[in-house]
Amino acid sequence: MEFFGHVIDGAEVKSSGGETFTSVDPYTREPWAEVALGGAAEVERAVAAARRAFDEGPWPRMGRAERGRLLHRLADLILEHADELGLADTRDMGKPITQSRGNDVPRAADNFRFFADHARLTTAETLPMDSGHHAYTRYEPVGVAAAIAPWNFPLMLETWKIAPALAWGNTVVLKPAEDTPASATILARLALEAGLPPGVLNVVHGYGPDSAGQALTEHPGIDRITFTGESATGRVISAAAAGHLVPVSLELGGKGGNAVFADADLDNAVSWSIKAIFTNAGQVCLAGSRLYVQRPVFDEFIARFTAAAEAMCLGDPKLDSTQLGPLASKTHYRKVRGYVETVAEEGGSVRSGGLGDGWFVRPTVITGMPATGRHQREEIFGPVVTVTPFDTEDEVVALMNDTRYGLNAMLFTENLSRAHRVSARLRAGTVWVNCFFVRDLRAPFGGAGDSGVGREGGTFSREFFTEPKAVVMQID
Ligand code: NAD
């Protein structure tokens, strides 16, 4: 079995008491990696290392061009190790290799390139004042950022947090999800190879409550918490952050609505709607898990959509031909299975799909589910979609907004006015029109309601990872 350690102060290390846990490959359902299991002691060492690297080390004092050069070097190394990184996430959580190696790895590299360049090119306001003074703004690093990540896009989401934090001169302690530890250790090894000084990027493995996660969020030595995960965990982390007045960014769950109007290009709508719910076996915060189809095209859409769902290739996620892998863990499989098994008792019917072998759930299409049912209200986080007909624009806007989440929404229409009108009425951090999951790192990303607090991306990440300072000078 491969071993993945913590990375603290420039070295890959074991836990002080030698504790470990294993990561299970959800396709073989066998352990494939042994991982150092950290707790408060390892968090203490990591925060101390990050603090030293911030207070005394070269990283925050380095010019932005030099920091950017090192982060671009890290991006190069990520791409050079695409096979290793992609396979690590695939073995940890069953994501098809074409998605981990083919999508997440390049996006991880791009995160470092983008935020390095963004920090370097950022301008700051200068304010001429009538009083014979002028004021200017400095964006200064904040110190030690704690990053806590989920298991569904391990490398991509971790780098989404780490890249802006580092680009702005902070140091980082990352706690990856316990189901997906491997790519984080590989990333930290590559960061050292790229020349990032010791202590700048630290990784501590472990669980959440009563373990490394909780110890990190409650540690008095951290200056920011950036968290992505479940809404319930977000509440706990928000309370921990409030305990020591640390700003927190929360990217939480979702229950994305997806409206297909009768005037949509149906080929396009079917193709994106399939991706919206079945990419990564539906284990996507942005999943289009509530699909609404205008009545005149409902039957035709359902026929085409279920045919495309049934044509998906399930199998070994390590193969290029596989489009849908198993669910990420036994616990998660059992949760999703619970939803599939209760469709009839909740008033719906399964049009296609259902349970597969091992920890597989086939692409599952449900109709007839009441809007008040669990399947329409709770985040299933699997390849399971409810499809509901609608008649009017007002009706579908009300249905889509009838959720405690507010992360994203999709709509398909060829009517330009409708596209703008409906986009404005939806309560969502991102609205995709005639597409899905297309991202520009300058755009705000985040959600309303139970989907989170704050935004990431471009200037939004800068606001979070810096302390803007006003300097006021007398001219005469
Ligand atoms: P989770 O909340 O169970 O765990 C996320 C991380 O938090 C893990 O590293 C875990 O160890 C840690 N953690 C758990 N309890 C903790 C505690 N008390 N203190 C500190 N750390 C703790 O989430 P998950 O199951 O790993 O991820 C799936 C969830 O993430 C879904 O709800 C999904 O929608 C959400 N998500 C949101 C986004 C987004 O951008 N909004 C992106 C991806 C995933």
pLDDT, one tens digit per residue, over 275-333 is: 999 999 999 999 999 999 999 999 999 999 999 999 999 999 999 999 999 999 999 99
Task: Say if residue 170's pLDDT is above 90.
Answer: yes
Residues with catalytic roles:
251, 285
Residue 412 above 90 pLDDT? yes
Asked if the model's pLDDT at residue 448 lies above 90, the reply is yes
218 CA to centre of ligand 1 in angstroms = 16
| 253 Cα to the center of ligand 1, angstroms | 9
Can you tell me which atom of ligand 1 is nearest the CA of 150? 26
Residues 6+ away with beta carbon under 8 Å from 453: 234, 238, 248, 249, 250, 446
Report pLDDT for 323: 98
Residue nearest (by alpha carbon) to ligand 1 atom 18: 209
What's residue 476's pLDDT? 79
- CA of 291 from ligand 1 middle (Å) equals 25
Give a three-class secondary structure readout of 202-271.
Answer: EECCCCCCCCHHHHHHCCCCCCEEEEECCHHHHHHHHHHHHHCCCCEEEECCCCCEEEECCCCCHHHHHH
DSSP string, 12-52: EE--TT--EEEEEETTTTEEEEEEE---HHHHHHHHHHHHH
Q: Region 162-179: what's the mean pLDDT?
A: 98
Query: If you average pLDDT over every residue of the chain, what do you get?
Result: 97
Angstrom CA distances, 326 to 164, 375, 416, stand at 32, 20, 39
Confidence of residue 25 (pLDDT cuts 50, 70, 90): very high
Counting ligand 1 atoms within 8 A of each CB, the residue from 89, 180, 203, 285 with the most, and so the one to mutate, is 285
User: What pLDDT digit, counting tens, does each position of 344-359 carry?
Assistant: 999 999 999 999 999 9
User: Which residue among 175, 233, 250, 405 has the greatest number of ligand 1 atoms within 8 angstroms of its CB, and so is best to mutate?
Assistant: 233
Looking at residue 382, its pLDDT comes to 98
Please, which residues have CB within 8 angstroms of residue 269's CB and are 6 or more apart in sequence? 260, 301, 412, 434
Of all atoms in ligand 1, which is nearest to the CA of residue 233? 2
The rounded distance, in Å, linking the Cα atoms of 1 and 21 is 12
**CA of 176, closest atom in ligand 1:** 9
Measured from CB, residues less than 6 Å from any atom of ligand 1 are: 148-153, 157, 175, 177-178, 207-209, 213-214, 217, 228-230, 233, 236-237, 251-254, 285, 379, 381, 407, 447, 451-452
User: In a mutational test of the pocket of ligand 1, which residue from 228, 246, 450 has the highest number of ligand atoms less than 8 Å from its CB?
Assistant: 228
Choose the residue to mutate in 35, 42, 93, 148 for probing ligand 1, maximizing ligand atoms within 8 Å of C-beta.
Answer: 148
Which atom of ligand 1 has the smallest separation from the CA of 177? 9
Distance 89 CA to ligand 1 centre (A): 16
For ligand 1, the distance from its centroid to the CA atom of residue 243, given in whole angstroms, is 20
User: Whole-model pTM?
Assistant: 0.97
Q: Write out pLDDT tens, residues 179-238.
A: 999 999 999 999 999 999 999 999 999 999 999 999 999 999 999 999 999 999 999 999
Give the mean pLDDT of 401-407: 98
The backbone region for 401, taken as left when phi is positive above 0, alpha when psi lies in -120 to 50, beta otherwise, is: alpha
The residue whose C-alpha atom lies closest to atom 22 belonging to ligand 1 is 208
> For the chain, what is the total number of helices (H) and then of strands (E)?
16, 23
* Mean pLDDT of the 103-123 span: 97
- The stretch 262-274 carries a mean pLDDT of 98
| Atom 39 of ligand 1, residue of closest alpha carbon | 251
Give the angle 194-151-48 at the CA atoms, nearest 5°. 50
Kindly give the distance from the C-alpha atom of residue 35 to the centroid of ligand 1, in angstroms, as a whole number. Answer: 19
Place of tokens 């913590």: 6
For residue 60, what pLDDT band results from cuts at 50, 70 and 90?
Answer: very high
Give the Cβ contact number of residue 476 at 10 Å. Answer: 4
In this model, does residue 465 exceed pLDDT 90?
yes
Nearest CA to ligand 1 atom 37: 252
Rg over CA atoms, the chain: 23
233 CA distance to ligand 1 centroid (A)?
Answer: 6
